[in-house]
């Protein structure tokens, strides 16, 4: 069974069909890059999946359940995490405080304080290793580098046990080194986390993706390996505006 399935998903803003009958299926642990020219409907697709925007048609199935009209906070609770372009971190708090806060916002974890503490410590260590922030736990989040802030936000989603992570242009504004490190983080999350990554940087896409999906004008234009879609005449036309 697919982890996430979109069936004929649509949303209309006034006369504009921003997402128009989109079908998409992601396996558990898969990383899918979502490509397409500006205005193709990529960000709106992520908004529909996380519940920020209400669809006007179609279905969203997550973990076998129809979540098409589920409220945004309930989707977050069920394991859908969204990373925004401006990281949702508390700049005045330290790295560790941000992570603890993220964890305490996960409903249900306070059931047993002892179990909670032991489990959280283990998870914290794992997550800090992954994003290489272990040496910076007492650093104010506002004093981190741009890349580190992005990784902290990813770490916060992991502390909330997000199992489907939606990322919109995560490497925007990053240095080459930060971009590569981000690719390593994503690659190590493969298998345990399902991810949709909207991205323009094709070098980065090559580092992380196996299958890519290309959207244009709200619909699916092409899907396949990077090489397949790069050689697809319809994809070339969409980018060149022919
Ligand atoms: P992408 O992320 O692929 O660049 P978007 O999903 O942001 O594209 O936008 C798709 C289309 O929908 C664009 O034409 C955009 O202007 C329009 N759009 C997005 N959000 C809204 C909204 N809230 N209200 C009206 N139009 C919107
Ligand atoms: Mg966008």
pLDDT digits (tens, 9 = 90+) for 128-185: 999 999 999 999 999 999 999 999 999 999 999 999 999 999 999 999 999 999 999 9
DSSP label at residue 93: S
**Mean pLDDT across the stretch 27-50?**
97
pLDDT for 56 beyond 80? yes
User: For residue 241, what pLDDT band results from cuts at 50, 70 and 90?
Assistant: low
User: Which ligand sits closest to the CA of 22?
Assistant: 1
Asked if residue 145 lies in contact with residue 132, where contact means CB atoms within 8 angstroms, the answer is: no
pLDDT for 79 beyond 90? yes
Asked if residue 156 lies in contact with residue 98, where contact means CB atoms within 8 angstroms, the answer is: yes
Mutate to test the pocket of ligand 1, among 16, 22, 36, 85 (most ligand atoms within 8 A of CB): 16
DSSP label at residue 71: -
pLDDT for 239 beyond 90? no
Q: Please report the pLDDT score of residue 117 as a whole number.
A: 63
Q: Is 207 exposed, middle or buried (0-12, 13-18, 19+ CB in 10 A)?
A: middle
Residue with the nearest Cα to atom 20 of ligand 1? 44
Residues 6+ apart with CB under 8 A from 203: 179
CA of 70 to the centre of ligand 1 (A): 22
CA of 134 to the centre of ligand 2 (A): 32
Domains of the chain listed by start with CATH number:
1-79+196-242 (3.40.50.300)
Q: Which residues line ligand 1 (CB under 6 A)?
A: 13, 16, 18, 36, 38-44
How far from 55 is each of 21, 51, 140, CA to CA, in Å? 11, 9, 38
Q: Please report the pLDDT score of residue 115 as a whole number.
A: 58
Compute the CA torsion angle 142, 147, 151, 156 (nearest 10 deg).
30
Read off the pLDDT of residues 177-207 as tens digits, 9 standing for 90 and up: 999 999 999 999 999 999 999 999 999 999 9
pLDDT for 110 beyond 60? no
How far apart are alpha carbons 54 and 41 in whole angstroms?
14
Q: Please report the pLDDT score of residue 234 as a whole number.
A: 93
**pLDDT, mean over the chain:** 92
User: Which ligand sits closest to the CA of 47?
Assistant: 1
Interface predicted TM-score of the whole assembly (ipTM), two decimals: 0.98
User: Which of 49-53, 95-99, 100-104 has the least mean pLDDT?
Assistant: 100-104
Percent of the chain predicted with pLDDT > 70: 93
Residue with the nearest Cα to atom 15 of ligand 1? 39
How far from 225 is each of 28, 37, 116, 166, 172, CA to CA, in Å? 18, 18, 42, 20, 23
Q: Measuring CA to CA, which residue among 53, 52, 75 is closest to residue 62?
A: 75
**Mean pLDDT across the stretch 210-233?**
95
Q: Please report the pLDDT score of residue 118 as a whole number.
A: 67
CA of 167 to the centre of ligand 2 (A): 10
């Amino acid at each position: 069974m697919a982890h996430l399935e979109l069936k004929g998903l649509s949303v209309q803003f006034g006369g504009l069909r921003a997402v128009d009958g989109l079908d998409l299926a992601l396996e558990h642990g898969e990383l899918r890059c979502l490509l397409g020219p500006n205005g193709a409907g990529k960000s709106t697709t992520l908004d529909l999946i996380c519940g920020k925007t209400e669809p006007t048609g179609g279905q969203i199935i997550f973990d076998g359940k129809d979540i098409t009209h589920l409220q945004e906070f309930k989707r977050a609770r069920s394991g859908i995490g969204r990373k925004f372009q401006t990281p949702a971190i508390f700049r005045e708090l330290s790295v560790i405080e941000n992570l603890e806060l993220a964890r305490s916002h996960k409903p249900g974890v306070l059931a047993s304080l002892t179990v909670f503490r032991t489990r959280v410590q283990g998870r914290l260590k794992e997550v800090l290793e992954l994003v290489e922030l272990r040496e910076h736990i007492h650093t104010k989040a506002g004093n981190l580098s741009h890349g580190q802030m992005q990784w902290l936000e990813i770490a916060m989603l992991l502390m909330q046990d997000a199992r489907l992570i939606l990322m919109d242009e995560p490497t925007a504004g990053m240095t080459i080194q930060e971009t590569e490190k981000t690719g390593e983080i994503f690659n190590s999350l493969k298998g345990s986390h399902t991810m949709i990554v909207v991205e323009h940087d094709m070098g980065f896409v090559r580092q992380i993706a196996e299958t890519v999906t290309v959207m244009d004008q709200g619909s699916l234009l092409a899907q396949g390996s990077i090489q397949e879609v790069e050689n697809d005449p319809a994809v070339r036309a969409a980018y060149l505006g022919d």
